[in-house]
Amino acid sequence: MAQFFKFKENNTDLRTESVAGMTTFLAMAYILFVNPDILAAAGMDQNAVFVATALSAAIATLVMGLLANYPIALAPGMGLNAFFAFSVVIGMGIEWQVALFGVFCSGIIFTILSVSNIRETIINAIPAEMKYAAGAGIGLFIAFIGLQNTEIIVADDATIVALGDLSNPSVLLTIFGLVVTVIFLVIGLKGGIFFGMVVTAVVGMIFGVINTPDSIVAPIPSLEPTFGQLFTIDFSSVFTLQLLIVILTFLFVDFFDTAGTLYGVANQAGFIKDNKLPRAGRALLADSTAGPIGAILGTSTTTSYVESAAGVGAGGRTGFTSVVTALFFIVALFFSPLLAVVTPAVTGPALILVGVMMASALKQIDWNRLEIAIPAFFTILAMPLTYSIATGIAMGFVFYPVTMICKGKAKEVHPLMYGLFVVFLLYFIFLK
C-alpha cells in the first residue's frame, strides 16, 4: 500500500494520511445533511438523497484517490445543488428527473472535454474575472438561500425583502449557530462548519426547538426513489433550448469550479511544478465521471471540494487520504436518523458561511477596469436578485462582449465568447 500510494516519495505515512482523511471528512460532512435539505425543495425524497449524497461522495473520492493519487475529496457541490433545486426545478418548472438528466449530460460532456485538448481551449476562452464573478455570485446566492430558509430574511410587500422576527425561537437558534460556527472557523477549528451544526442541533434539542430523534443509527434508507430516475423521462420532449441552457450552466460551473479547486488544493500541497499539475488529466477524469455517477444515484453534480485543503493542512499528500475520507462517507450511511434534527436552523449557518468563502473570489476581479467590472458585477448581482445562477451567468456573458467592443478590445474576445453571447441572448429572448 505504501508503494502504491508512494508514501516515501511524498514524505508521509499511514497515520498522517489517516488523520488527514478524517479531517477532510469532518470539514465537508455538512453536505450529508445540507444537500438533502436543499434537494428536498425540488420534491426529491430526503432520505434517498442522503444515501445518494454519501454514495456519490464515497465512490467519486475513492476514484480520485486510486486513479489520480491526490488527497482531494468529492461530493455534491454547493451552488450546483442550489441551482438544481431553486433555478432549474422551481424557477424553470423542470421536473427533477429531467434536471438529473441535465446533470448526467453535462457530466458526459465534461468527461469528453477532460480527455481532449478542448478543455484548455475553453479555459483560455473565458476571462478569469468572469470565472471569479460566477463563483462569488453563487456564494451570495447560497447565503441568501440560507437567510431565507431560516426566516432571518422574509418577504415584504413594500420592500420585497425585510428582516424577520428575531424573537422567533428558530431564528434565534440560527443566529446562535451562526455565531458559534463563525467562532469555530475564525479560530481555525478543523471541520468548523460540521461542528457548528452539531452544537446548534444539540442546543436546539435542549431548548425544545428541535425534536429529539428516536435513534441515531438505523438501516440504510432505500435509494429507490431517486436511483436511475433520470432514465424514466420522456426523451422526446427534453431536448429544448431551456434544457441546453441548464446543461451548459451545470457544465460551466462544474468545469471551472473543478479547475480552481484542483489547482488551489494542489498548490497548497506543493504539487504544482512549472505552473502545471502532474496527473491533471487523471484528476479531471476522476472529477468529470463523478457527475454522471451522482446523477444516476439521484443527486446534483458531484465535484471536487475545496474543503480538501483541511486534510492537506493536516498532512495529507496522497490518494490514501481520499480513500479514508471515502470510507467515512460509507460509514455515515448508517446515521440517517440524524436527518430529523438537521432543520433549516441547523443548515442555515452552513449555507451562509459557505457563501462567505465563495465570495472571497471578489478580490480577484480588477474593479478598476469597467469593461471587466460591469459584466462581473451584473453576474454577481443578478444571481441572488433573480434567484437564478443561470440568469446571472447569462447576463454577465451578454454584457462582456459589448463592453469589450466599446472599449476597442473586440479582438481580445475569444470567438467562443461571441458564441456564448448569442446563446445567452436567445435565452433571454425566448425563455425570459
Residue by residue, pLDDT tens for the chain (432 residues) are 888 998 988 888 998 899 889 888 887 888 998 899 999 999 999 999 999 999 999 999 999 999 999 999 999 988 789 889 988 899 888 999 999 999 999 999 988 888 886 765 676 677 878 878 887 887 888 789 889 889 999 999 899 999 999 999 999 999 999 999 999 999 988 778 888 888 999 999 999 999 888 888 889 999 999 999 999 988 877 778 778 888 888 887 777 667 667 766 777 677 777 656 778 778 888 888 999 999 999 999 999 887 887 788 778 899 999 999 999 999 999 988 887 887 889 888 888 888 888 788 899 899 999 999 999 999 999 988 987 777 888 899 999 999 999 999 999 998 989 988 998 888 788 765
Residue type, 135: G
Quickly count: other Cβ atoms within 10 Å of residue 35's Cβ: 29
Contact residues for 276 (Cβ-Cβ < 8 A; gap 6+): none
**Residues 56 and 340: beta-carbon distance below 8 Å:** no
Nearest residue to 53 (alpha-carbon basis) of 298, 224, 289, 253: 298
Report the predicted TM-score, pTM, of the whole model to 2 decimal places. Answer: 0.76
At 189 the pLDDT is 84
Nearest residue to 90 (alpha-carbon basis) of 392, 388, 348: 388
For the chain, how many helices (H) and strands (E)? 19, 4
Nearest residue to 83 (alpha-carbon basis) of 132, 129, 5, 145: 145
The span from the CA of 62 to the CA of 119, in Å, is 24
Residue 304: its H or E element: strand 302-304
Nearest residue to 64 (alpha-carbon basis) of 301, 258, 336, 346: 258
Nearest residue to 31 (alpha-carbon basis) of 387, 347, 389, 357: 347
CB neighbour burial string for 254-293, b if at least 16 within 10 angstroms, e if fewer: bbbbbbbbbbebbeebebeeeeebeebebbbbbbbbbbbb
Helix (H/G/I), strand (E/B), else coil: 153: strand
Rg value, the chain, Cα: 21
**Residues 251 and 63: beta-carbon distance below 8 Å:** no
**Residues 122 and 130: beta-carbon distance below 8 Å:** no
For residue 97 the three cell numbers come to: 428527473
The span from the CA of 243 to the CA of 87, in Å, is 12
The span from the CA of 275 to the CA of 396, in Å, is 28
Report CA torsion sign: 314, 139, 169, 343.
negative
The span from the CA of 289 to the CA of 104, in Å, is 9
For residue 321 the three cell numbers come to: 487520504
DSSP letter at 127?
-
At 161 the pLDDT is 92
